Amino acid sequence: MIFTFTAATWPWLLRHELRLAWRNISRTSLWLIVIGGGLLWACLHLVAWLTLSNLGPLSGAIAGTSSAAPPPMATLVTGAALWFAISLMFSQAILLSITALFDRGDFDLLLSSPMPTQTVFIVRGMGVAISSVFLYLLLFTPFAHMGLITGHAHLLAIYPALISIGLFVSALGMLLTLTLVRVLGARHARMVGQLIGALVGAMFFLASQVQTMLSTETRAGITSTFKQWIAVDGPLAPDSAIWFPLRAMLGEWLPLLIVMGVGLGGFWLVVSLTYKRFLAGTQESVTGQASKKLPAVMGGSIKFRQGLMMNVLIKEWKLIVRDPNLIAQTFLQMLYLLPMIFIFFRRQDMTLLVMPATIMLASTLAGSLAWITIAAEDAPELIGVAPVQLARIRWMKALAAVMPVWILVSPVLAYLLFTTPLYAAAFASFIAGGTISAGLIQIWYPRQGDRKNMKKRGQGNMVINLIEGISALGWAGTSYAMLAAPLWAPLGLLLALTGPSGAWLLGKSRREQGVLA
Amino acid sequence: MQTQTAAHSVTPSATPSVSISPEPAPALAINGLVKHFGGKYAVSNLDLTIPRGEFHALLGPNGAGKTTTLRIVAGLLKADIGTAHILGHNIATHPTEAKRLLAFLPDDPLLYGKLRPLEYLEFVAGLWSVESTIAAARAEELLRWLDLWGNTSEYIEGFSRGMRQKLALAGALIHDPQVMILDEPLTGLDAAAARQVKDLLLERVKQGNTIVLTTHILEMAERLAERISIIQKGKIIAQGTLDELRELAAANATPGQNATLEDVFLELTSQRTNIEAASRTSAKSEGTT
Q: What distance in Å separates the CA atoms of residue A462 and residue A470, rounded to the nearest whole number?
A: 12
A170 in any annotated domain: yes
Instruction: Closest CB to A385: pick one of B74, B126, B135.
Output: B74
Instruction: Give chain A's end-to-end CA distance (angstroms, integer).
Output: 46
Indicate if A255 and A345 belong to the same structural domain.
no
Domain count along chain A: 2
pLDDT digits (tens, 9 = 90+) for A63-76: 454 445 556 677 77
Q: Average pLDDT in the A258-282 region? A: 82
Interface of B with A in 195-254 (CB under 8 A): none
Q: Are B214 and B61 in contact (CB under 8 A)?
A: no
- What count of other Cβ atoms lies within 10 Å of the Cβ of residue B275? 11
Angle between helices A186-210 and A324-344 (to 10 degrees): 0
Q: Are B221 and B215 in contact (CB under 8 A)?
A: yes
Indicate if A278 and A354 belong to the same structural domain.
no
Look over chain A and give the mean of its residue pLDDT values, rounded to a whole number.
79
Q: Are B4 and B234 in contact (CB under 8 A)?
A: no
Q: Which residues are CB-neighbours of A66 under 8 A, at least 6 positions away?
A: A60
Q: What share of chain A is helix, strand, coil (3-state, %, to 5)?
A: 80, 0, 20
The residue range of the domain holding A418 is 308-513
| Res A114: pLDDT | 74
Q: In B101-224, which ranges are continuous DSSP H helix?
A: 117-127, 132-145, 161-173, 191-206, 218-224
Q: What distance in Å separates the CA atoms of residue A438 and residue A386, rounded to the nearest whole number?
A: 25
pLDDT digits (tens, 9 = 90+) for A432-446: 999 999 999 999 988
Of the CA atoms within 13 Å of residue A398, those in its CB half-sphere come to: 22
pLDDT exceeding 90 applies to what percent of chain A?
A: 15
pLDDT digits (tens, 9 = 90+) for A165-175: 999 998 998 88
Q: Which of A287, A320, A353 is the last residue of a domain?
A: A287
Report CA A77 to chain centroid distance, whole Å. 24
pLDDT exceeding 70 applies to what percent of chain A?
A: 76
Query: Which one is predicted more confidently, B39 or A105?
Result: B39
Q: Are A366 and A285 in contact (CB under 8 A)?
A: no
Indicate if A264 and A320 belong to the same structural domain.
no
Q: What distance in Å separates the CA atoms of residue A53 and residue A149, rounded to the nearest whole number?
A: 10
Instruction: Give chain B's end-to-end CA distance (angstroms, integer).
Output: 46
Q: Average pLDDT in the A83-109 region? A: 76
A426 in any annotated domain: yes
Indicate if A157 and A242 belong to the same structural domain.
yes
Indicate if A257 and A338 belong to the same structural domain.
no
Minimal C-alpha gap between A79 and chain B (Å): 44
Indicate if A283 and A312 belong to the same structural domain.
no
Name which of B35, B94, B122, B130 to mutate to probe chain A: the one with the most chain A Cβ atoms within 10 A of its Cβ.
B122
| Res B3: pLDDT | 36
Q: What distance in Å separates the CA atoms of residue A398 and residue A464, rounded to the nearest whole number?
A: 17
Indicate if A277 and A348 belong to the same structural domain.
no
Query: Which one is predicted more confidently, A481 or A204?
Result: A481
| Res A69: pLDDT | 54
Sheet containing B40-50: give its strands across: B40-50, B28-37, B81-86, B89-90
Minimal C-alpha gap between A239 and chain B (Å): 53
Query: Which one is predicted more confidently, A483 or B160?
Result: B160
- Positive or negative, the Cα torsion across A51, A56, A58, A60? positive
Q: In Å, what is the CA distance from A148 to each residue of A152, A154, A253, B106?
A: 6, 8, 17, 63
One-letter amino acid for residue A217 of the chain: E
A298 in any annotated domain: no
Minimal C-alpha gap between A149 and chain B (Å): 57
One-letter amino acid for residue A26 of the chain: S
Angle at A319 between CA A315 and CA A324, to 5 degrees: 155
Indicate if A187 and A112 belong to the same structural domain.
yes
Q: Which of A231, A255, A287 is the last residue of a domain?
A: A287
Query: Which one is predicted more confidently, A201 or B198?
Result: B198
Q: Average pLDDT in the A27-56 region? A: 80
Q: Cβ of A452 under 8 Å from any chain B Cβ? A: no
Q: Give which of A363, A368, A385 is closest to A331, Cα–Cα.
A: A368
Domain ranges of chain B: 25-240
Q: In Å, what is the CA distance from B134 to each residue of A60, A113, B139, B152, B173?
A: 84, 51, 8, 18, 12
Q: Which of A287, A317, A334 is the last residue of a domain?
A: A287
A299 in any annotated domain: no
| Res B34: pLDDT | 92
Q: Please indicate whether, in this complex, the C-beta atoms of A297 and B153 are within 8 angstroms of each other.
A: yes
Is residue A326 predicted with pLDDT exceeding 70? yes
Q: What distance in Å separates the CA atoms of residue A31 and residue A28, rounded to the nearest whole number?
A: 5
Q: What distance in Å separates the CA atoms of residue A456 and residue A200, rounded to the nearest whole number?
A: 19
Topology of domain B25-240 in CATH is Rossmann fold (3.40.50)
> Of A233-242, A289-298, A314-323, B68-77, where does mean pLDDT reach its minimum?
A289-298
Give the pLDDT band of residue A230 (cuts 50, 70, 90): confident
Rg of chain B over Cα atoms, rounded to whole angstroms, equals 20
Give the pLDDT band of residue A218 (cuts 50, 70, 90): confident
Q: Please indicate whether, in this complex, the C-beta atoms of B96 and A288 are within 8 angstroms of each other.
A: no
pLDDT digits (tens, 9 = 90+) for A375-406: 888 888 898 889 998 889 999 999 999 999 99
Q: In Å, what is the CA distance from A388 to each residue of A308, A400, A457, B81?
A: 9, 17, 28, 24
Q: Average pLDDT in the A232-250 region? A: 82
Q: Give which of B136, B150, B187, B181 is closest to B166, Cα–Cα.
A: B187
Angle at A475 between CA A471 and CA A481, to 5 degrees: 135
pLDDT digits (tens, 9 = 90+) for A328-351: 777 766 666 666 566 555 555 566
Task: Please write down the HEC assignment for all residues of A297-347.
Answer: CCCCCCCCCCCHHHHHHHHHHHHHHCCHHHHHHHHHHHHHHHHHHHHHCCC
Report CA A379 to chain centroid distance, whole Å. 27
Q: Which residues are CB-neighbours of A242 under 8 A, at least 6 positions away?
A: A79, A235, A236
Minimal C-alpha gap between B77 and chain A (Å): 8
A410 in any annotated domain: yes
- What count of other Cβ atoms lies within 10 Å of the Cβ of residue B72? 26
Q: What distance in Å separates the CA atoms of residue B100 and residue B179, rounded to the nearest whole number?
A: 10
Please report which helix (H) or strand (E) contains residue A64, including its range. Answer: none
Q: In the 8-state DSSP scheme, what is residue A56?
A: G
| Res A25: pLDDT | 65
Instruction: Closest CB to A378: pick one of B112, B122, B135.
Output: B112
Q: Average pLDDT in the A85-96 region? A: 83
Give the pLDDT band of residue A213 (cuts 50, 70, 90): low
Indicate if A346 and A428 belong to the same structural domain.
yes
Indicate if A419 and A457 belong to the same structural domain.
yes
Indicate if A125 and A247 belong to the same structural domain.
yes
A176 in any annotated domain: yes
Q: Average pLDDT in the A183-205 region? A: 70
Q: Which residues are CB-neighbours of A96 under 8 A, at least 6 positions away?
A: A127, A128, A131, A132, A170, A173
Question: Low-confidence residues of chain B, pLDDT below 50?
Answer: 1-18, 288-289
What three-state secondary structure class fits B118? helix
**Cβ-Cβ contacts under 8 Å, A380 against chain B:** 110
Q: Are B170 and B143 in contact (CB under 8 A)?
A: yes
Report CA A79 to chain centroid distance, whole Å. 23
Q: Are A285 and A151 in contact (CB under 8 A)?
A: no
Q: Are A96 and A129 in contact (CB under 8 A)?
A: no
> Of A254-263, A470-479, B185-194, where does mean pLDDT reach its minimum?
B185-194
Indicate if A488 and A342 belong to the same structural domain.
yes
Q: What distance in Å separates the CA atoms of residue A297 and residue B121, rounded to the nearest whole number?
A: 14
Report CA A132 to chain centroid distance, whole Å. 13
Q: Please indicate whether, in this complex, the C-beta atoms of A295 and B104 are within 8 angstroms of each other.
A: no
Structure ipTM: 0.72
Q: In the 8-state DSSP scheme, what is residue B64?
A: S
Burial class (CB in 10 A: 0-12, 13-18, 19+), A411: exposed
**Cβ-Cβ contacts under 8 Å, A295 against chain B:** 153
Q: Cβ of B129 under 8 Å from any chain A Cβ? A: yes
Is residue A320 predicted with pLDDT exceeding 90? no
Is residue A78 predicted with pLDDT exceeding 70? yes
Q: Cβ of A105 under 8 Å from any chain B Cβ? A: no
Task: Please write down the HEC assignment for all residues of A28-50.
Answer: HHHHHHHHHHHHHHHHHHHHHHH
Q: In Å, what is the CA distance from B288 to each residue of A313, B282, B283, B285?
A: 70, 10, 9, 5
